[in-house]
Structures are given as C-alpha cells and as structure tokens.
Amino acid sequence: MRTGLDACRAAGHDVVSVVGHPEYYPRFGFVRARPFGLASEPPFPDEAFMVAELTPGALRGRRGVVVYGEEFGPGVRVRC
C-alpha cells in the first residue's frame, strides 16, 4: 500500500480515493470522503468511501463526485 501511495505522489497526484475496509485503510492516512464534500458514483457506504491527501491541504476547497469505472458496478462510466 505504501509503495502504491509513493508511486501516486511521484506521478504528481495529491489526492487518492479508495473504496475499502474502514478498519484497514485509515492506517495509511485514509479518512471518510463525504465530510470533504465528496460523493461517489456509484454510491458506496460512507464508511467505505475514503480519501487520503498526498499533499497536505490538497482537499481544501475541493467538492465533487468521484466516478468509478464500470468494474465497480454495472453501467458506471469513467470521467477523466
């Protein structure tokens, strides 16, 4: 997990989202995404939809919808 986050940082990303187990991902800096004004498409349970700032403060002022690919659910489209 740490290697993947380091690769995201190296690629210039400042925020990462996951849908996963709420007891596993927080150890890597992930927190619930909804308090930051983020939603997911398709909708996932609040406790499973999480984000991590790779750059401190990167979520400040961001709002929107994280759209997951169709492998996460039927009929879901990818937005770039």
Task: Indicate the pLDDT class of residue 73, thresholds 50, 70 and 90.
Answer: low
Taking only the tens place, the pLDDT of each residue in 13-71 is 999 999 999 999 999 999 999 999 999 998 999 999 999 999 999 999 989 999 987 77
Q: Is 10 helix (H, G, I), strand (E, B) or coil?
A: helix
Q: Is 2 helix (H, G, I), strand (E, B) or coil?
A: helix
**Got the DSSP string for 30-70?**
-EESGGGTEEEES---TTTEEEEESSTTTTTT--EEEEPPG
CA 60 to chain centre: 14
